[in-house]
Structure 1
């Protein structure tokens, strides 16, 4: 992709930069740097208010078409928005799943009624969403889900369990992939349902992680219900809808992720200088490799912007997940013995310890390395399918 910015683009950069500088002050200024991977618990209610403050000024859902409440930004301007948001060290937003995943899915594949019902509340950050894909027996193998839904009158009745459901404890809704019929292929018979979480028949259990926090949850559906018309696409054809959502997940917003990664790398380098690890030639080489790896991730992301999210998105996920996991290990190496003790009792972790522990999950969530490599091998390279028992 050619990212030569026009004068209009640079004017837009100045607009968003000036707004962030002016508004990240006072109470909002104290939120800088909060949230993010492994730290979603930090000041959640305050970050929610910040997101609503952004909405009031028209800075949510900026990539969406104007007719759906967005700004209709060009691809270059979307890149600028995410760059400047990360540059300002603004707090992690709480509405990612609604704004970046479900919203674009409904814009492309939802009915006018679904769009009118849900999109304005996503723009205003009045309703938060979670993603009901993974199950105990069906993580990255989405076609193997066992959660079922049956149509009774004018409602779907849902039974089953989802796991690793990010921020479900704060969400009002969940987009759920459930089996509504049996087909000749495992991908057939799945439906993409929009399910309210604040009802009897839904139980949410936070999962205590190594970081001591609970971004992820188990969600149990026991005769939970949603309206018959809250299925996106045709019943039984939800596989394509679910794959479209995953494509949006790995889109332009990941550029901001890379800027946050660069900030983490800078902390690792500063720590290496402080502890003297920078003088170790092996660790110095690993730091150099980390710097080069991040540049590769950035260039791959820019190269694949604007096209359909096909195999490039799987390559991107493998690249950043392994890079970030390795950065966590490097962080512990440069920190030395101090990495083995908590900053304070009972379990107060510093930023590098949180980075290390949370990044152990990077190669699993959002599509595991094993599954994504199989997809690339079989569907792109044409290699023989892996033997399945």
Structure 2
């Protein structure tokens, strides 16, 4: 594996960085920047960023031009993601559409579906959410109970989804529903495309443990959609979903590792500002060892991410090895959060604007707990690694 970038790619890196510096919202990523309290204003700000990326030529970098992309490679996409991470650029509101739904549609969708849905997604005209998890089907995705029945020439959907990020801003949902109760539970599932303005859809926002308001419950009450709003074929939704989860587990680590590095740098700076028992925390041998281990693990994540992208470039798909990466980064980030609270000590319970680091370390600790659950819990990842990578018996 070649870990270096050629001259043309480094020029692209410089171009990306210069564009980001001139276009990131003023103050973004600094402790002083505050998101609007009004949800519609928050959504508007993030949607505008998606449009700005498209207008600047940085949306769909590796997508084919016929679908609105730039026609470049995953290497340029990696470069842009790294530079965006270094500058704490916004993630946009259509992250699920760009990083999960779009590559899934490219693999399993029809040409008509690709031309219909991909260009407006890139432009920021249509925001997507993901309807997979349910109250009784989180870790065991195949246990979903939301059902879809073909009535005449339309599908009618009934059920509930939960933990649905950005559903209160979304125009569309790519979701799983059970279409055959007679087949084994992995076999009778289909992936549907559902307009969020459909009659019968109710969205209820949820407040997360860290105070963020991105999650939602979504209820489907006799929601009717066209028969052609199926991706990958009827009762083939499990295979389609595994493709989606492969992208979520394996291809997002490179952007994350840069953001983790930024968080690590903040942790180091806060360590230098605090004392325990008359000694600066950053000079304490125990904390220095813990910080050193975190630094090494973030570097490992980068190289593992490059290896995963190399596999995608060479083979065109990701295997169960993506679970190794997901388990690694989610566990590492959880440990970073725990160390952050340990460093804060008695300052830990205070998260206001006047607190140490303005609550950044507490936010890492609270947010990282969910990361060990979504895209497949750590326990599920261990099962996948044991059975499909190591070849161990069930």
Q: Give TM-score scaled by structure 2 length.
A: 0.90
Q: Indicate the residue corresponding to 1:50 in structure 2.
A: 49
Q: Indicate the residue corresponding to 1:280 in structure 2.
A: 284
SS of the aligned residue for 2:129 comes to strand
How far 1:35 moved relative to its partner? Answer: 9.8
How far 1:99 moved relative to its partner? Answer: 1.0
Q: Indicate the residue corresponding to 2:277 in structure 1.
A: none
Q: How does 1:173-184 map to 2 (within 5 A)?
A: 173-184=172-183
Q: Indicate the residue corresponding to 2:26 in structure 1.
A: 29
Q: Indicate the residue corresponding to 1:322 in structure 2.
A: 331
- From the superposition, tell whether residues 271 and 124 of structure 1 become closer, same or farther in structure 2 (CA, over 3 Å): same
- Give unpaired runs (5+ residues) of structure 1: none
My pick for the range that moved more, 373-382 or 325-334, is: 373-382
Q: How does 1:1-389 map to 2 (within 5 A)?
A: 1-24=1-24, 28-32=25-29, 43-275=42-274, 276-307=280-311, 308-343=317-352, 350-385=359-394
How far 1:349 moved relative to its partner? Answer: 6.2
What's the CA shift string for 1:95-138, capped at 9, x where partnerless?
A: 11111111112122111221122111101111111111111111
What's the CA shift string for 1:257-306, capped at 9, x where partnerless?
A: 11000000111111111102223322221111111111221121112223
SS of the aligned residue for 2:149 comes to strand
How far 1:245 moved relative to its partner? Answer: 1.3
- Give unpaired runs (5+ residues) of structure 2: 275-279, 312-316
Give me the whole-angstrom Cα distance separating, in 2, the residues matched to 1:261 and 1:85.
13
What's the CA shift string for 1:201-250, capped at 9, x where partnerless?
A: 11111122211222211111111121110100110111111111112223
Give me the whole-angstrom Cα distance separating, in 2, the residues matched to 1:132 and 1:246.
13
What's the CA shift string for 1:120-175, capped at 9, x where partnerless?
A: 11011111111111111111211111110001122111011111111111111111
What's the CA shift string for 1:308-337, capped at 9, x where partnerless?
A: 311221000100101001101111111121
How far 1:344 moved relative to its partner? Answer: 5.6
My pick for the range that moved more, 43-52 or 234-243, is: 43-52
Give me the whole-angstrom Cα distance separating, in 2, the residues matched to 1:41 and 1:267.
30
- From the superposition, tell whether residues 165 and 23 of structure 1 become closer, same or farther in structure 2 (CA, over 3 Å): same
How far 1:379 moved relative to its partner? Answer: 2.4
What's the CA shift string for 1:5-47, capped at 9, x where partnerless?
A: 22221221222122222323xxx223346799xxx99943212
Contact 1:41 1:214 (8 Å CA) reproduced: no
After the TM superposition, list the runs of 4 or more consecutive aligned residues in structure 1 that deviate by more than 6 angstroms.
Answer: none
SS of the aligned residue for 1:107 comes to helix
- From the superposition, tell whether residues 241 and 111 of structure 1 become closer, same or farther in structure 2 (CA, over 3 Å): same
Contact 2:86 2:262 (8 Å CA) reproduced: no
Give me the whole-angstrom Cα distance separating, in 2, the residues matched to 1:153 and 1:2.
55
Contact 1:165 1:216 (8 Å CA) reproduced: yes
- From the superposition, tell whether residues 226 and 180 of structure 1 become closer, same or farther in structure 2 (CA, over 3 Å): same
Give me the whole-angstrom Cα distance separating, in 1, the residues matched to 2:40 and 2:379.
29
Give me the whole-angstrom Cα distance separating, in 1, the residues matched to 2:204 and 2:113.
28
CA RMSD in angstroms comes to: 2.2
Q: Give TM-score scaled by structure 1 length.
A: 0.91
Contact 1:35 1:92 (8 Å CA) reproduced: no
SS of the aligned residue for 2:148 comes to strand
